[in-house]
Amino acid sequence: MKLAILGFGREGKSVLNFLRKSKTLRGDEIFILDKNPNIKIPKSVHAITGKNCLKHLRGIDVVFRSPGIPYNLPELQRARKTGVLFSSATKLFFGAISHESIVNSHLLVIGITGTKGKGTTATILYNILKNAGEDVFLAGNIGIPALDLIPKIESRVTNRKSVVKSHKSVFVILELSSFQLQDLEVSPSIAVVTDVFPDHQDSHKNLAEYYNAKTRIARYQKKTDSVFFMANNAMSRQIASKSKGRKIAVDEKTFSLFSEKDLKIRGDHNFKNAAMAATVAKNLGVATRVIVESVKKFAGTEHRLEFVRRIGGVEFYNDSASTNPHTTAAAIRAFATSDKRQVNDNPKKRGALTNSLILIAGGQDKNLDYAPLAQALKKSNTKLVVLMGENRSKIARTIKGQTTRTEEQGIKIMFAKNLKDAISKSYEVALSLIASHLSPVVIFSPGATSFDMFRNYAERGKEFKKTIENL
């Protein structure tokens, strides 16, 4: 057989490692196809790199597609018509854990998807289960590649056979993107669906395809399975409705184990994520005390409204993981109203806007509407928006079209040539706000992908933090 790995990033390398160790999938030849001509590829496999690498799919028996490669590229569609089979790291993982010895070992896979919030929800749930003394792994789109867990799971299974507590479960929490779910034909026994809204219209052919990919997390569930969903998000409800299993709604308005002011992380969106993780943990039998303590200690994940530094009176937050206007809107709302941590202790501050916001946004467009971002700005105390990247003009037009505040109250818009220039302009205005006895907060929440200037959102976020540390 001829096997090909399409895209040699984090998951592609994991697939290669898995194939080399597999007794059933070991092929006569393994090819690596990647558009990056400079990528380092082991000498033991065949390398086909460069912009024309997709032209070499003919004659391959099975292609393992990495999540970053759109499912419906014309070259991939033509290859399918000629009989080429497509798989993925996620498919390989679910196939590997379907082995009888693993199925009978009380392995529970918790799959988490959503447009945003899945990483935070997954991490909080991981912390809760870990603090409860459970045997738990975090993998998928966050943590380590799922395939890398197989040897560890098999080791746990072997050890469990000889111990008294063999009834205790092993939990695997998988954060799953639409690209990982798109061709999956199996669902995790526990599915979690956070808020879902339009995204990735640069990679999916339309919204229907994007939403359809998300439904696969619940579509193949059995009656004995469970799906948790956001009660107040229409698409989250619709995805959950595809499941044959038990459907559990999470309503942040009636949730009572803890309140938003108990959290170290900001924003009502993060409260919803914490409430989701807590509800799943509670249904798994974790004690309320452990859940509440874990949530209160959680300080957030990197690049997601991450506090970077306070310089004088200026606070800087890194929200580079925001690649969607809805998530930037959520970041704005997290600071737009009175700081609840202060207001609850000082009734005189109720109703006051305690922060003056400066937003840095922009990047590569995903064919999305920036109206949600503009609407959030209208209801905030934002003084300046600094825009950079390929879509800066598009965002500026949307803000100007949606914002109706007077010139005296209005939001100033500046363009920057790059991230360092955007930070410089923001800091200069922030210092002037301090001189006017205001409390400026600079939020880097792009609302767009990073590929016009950086390899990924993580590299972009690290560059932001490095620049701030050097101010």
CB atoms within 10 A of CB 415: 16
Number of H helices, E strands in the chain: 17, 17
Q: How far apart are CA 448 and CA 373, in angstroms?
A: 11
Distance of CA 293 to the CA centre of its chain: 24
At 55, list the tokens.
């032209």
Judge whether 406 is annotated as a binding position. no
Judge whether 117 is annotated as a binding position. yes
Judge whether 51 is annotated as a binding position. no
Judge whether 81 is annotated as a binding position. no
Residue 208, burial from CB neighbour count under 10 angstroms (0-12, 13-18, 19+): exposed
Q: Which residue has the tokens 């008294």?
A: 164
Nearest to 371 by CA among 403, 339, 344, 341: 403
C-alpha torsion angle, residues 174, 176, 179, 183 (rounded to 10): 70
User: Amino acid letter at 340?
Assistant: K
At 239, list the tokens.
């995805």
Q: How far apart are CA 171 and CA 467, in angstroms?
A: 39
Q: How far apart are CA 47 and CA 37, in angstroms?
A: 10
Which run of H or E residues covers position 383? strand 382-387
Q: How far apart are CA 137 and CA 204, in angstroms?
A: 30
Query: Which residues, 6+ apart, have CB-to-CB distance to 313 below 8 Å?
Result: 434, 439, 440
Q: How far apart are CA 147 and CA 139, in angstroms?
A: 9
Judge whether 297 is annotated as a binding position. no
Judge whether 120 is annotated as a binding position. yes
Q: In 3-state terms, what secondary structure has residue 236?
A: helix
Residue 34 near residue 11 (C-beta atoms within 8 A): no
Judge whether 95 is annotated as a binding position. no
User: Amino acid letter at 226?
Assistant: S
CB atoms within 10 A of CB 436: 9
Distances (CA, A) of 151 to 58, 146, 207: 33, 11, 37
At 28, list the tokens.
């006569």
CB atoms within 10 A of CB 254: 9
Nearest to 113 by CA among 200, 216, 183: 216
Nearest to 445 by CA among 471, 426, 417: 426
* Phi–psi pair at 318, nearest 5 degrees: -105, 110
- Show binding-site residues: 114-120
- Give the residue numbers of the binding site for ATP: 114-120
